[in-house]
Chain A
Amino acid sequence: MDKNYHDIPGTYVFDGTQNRAGYHLNMFCKSLDVEANRDAFRNDPDVYLDRYPMTAEQRKAIEDRDWLGMLQLGGNIYYTFKIAIFDQVSMQAVGGMMSNMTEEEFRQMMVNGGRSVEGNRSKSEGN
Chain B
Amino acid sequence: MARITAGIGTSHVPAIGAAIDHDKTQEDYWKPLFDGYMPAQEYVEKNTPDVAILVYNDHASAFSLELISTFLLGVADYFPPADEGYGPRQVPGVEGHPELAWHLAESLILDEFDMAIANEMPVDHGLTVPLSITCGQPDAWPFKVIPLCVNVIQYPQPTGKRCFKLGQAIRKAVESFPEDLNVAIYGTGGMSHQLQGERAGLINADFDTAFLDDLTANVDRLVNIGHMEYLRESGSEGIEMIMWLIMRGALGEQAKEIYRHYHVPASNTGAGLIVLEAA
Contacts and interface: CB of A to CB of B under 8 A. Distances in A.
Nearest to A67: B196
A19 B196 contact: no
A52 interface: no
Contact of A9 (B60, B199, B233, B265): B199
B231 A13 contact: yes
B153 interface: yes
B205 interface: yes
Contacts of A121: 232-233
Contacts of B119: none
Interface of A: 4-5, 8-16, 19, 23, 26-27, 29-30, 32-33, 68, 71, 76-79, 81-82, 85-86, 91-92, 94-95, 98-100, 106, 109-111, 113-117, 120-122
B195 A95 contact: yes
B64 A81 contact: no
A95 B202 contact: no
Contact of A113 (B66, B153, B203): B203
A4 B228 contact: yes
Given A30-B60, A30-B64, A113-B264, A99 B205 contact: no
B256 interface: no
B65 interface: yes
Question: By DSSP majority rule, is chain A's interface helix, strand, loop, or mixed?
Answer: helix
B212 to A, nearest CB: 17
Interface of B: 15, 29, 59-61, 64-66, 83-86, 153-156, 192, 194-205, 207, 227-228, 231-233, 236-237, 264-265, 267-268, 270
A10 B195 CA distance: 11
Contact of B65 (A23, A100, A117, A120): A23
Contacts, number: 137
B207 to A, nearest CB: 8
Nearest to B60: A78
Contact of A120 (B15, B199, B205, B265): B199
A117 B204 contact: yes
20 contacts: A5-B155, A15-B154, A16-B155, A23-B65, A71-B196, A76-B153, A82-B60, A85-B86, A91-B195, A95-B200, A95-B201, A98-B200, A99-B201, A106-B200, A109-B201, A110-B264, A114-B201, A115-B201, A117-B207, A121-B232
B208 to A, nearest CB: 11
A68 B237 CA distance: 16
A117 B195 contact: no
A56 B197 CA distance: 21
A40 B268 CA distance: 31
A71 B197 contact: yes
Contact of A114 (B85, B202, B227, B231): B202
- Among B83, B196, B204, the one with the most A-chain Cβ atoms within 10 Å of its Cβ is B196
B195 A9 contact: no
Given A14-B154, A95-B195, 11 more contacts: A9-B199, A11-B197, A11-B236, A14-B155, A27-B65, A77-B195, A85-B85, A86-B85, A100-B198, A120-B199, A121-B232
A7 B172 CA distance: 40
B233 A81 contact: no
Contacts of A9: 198-199
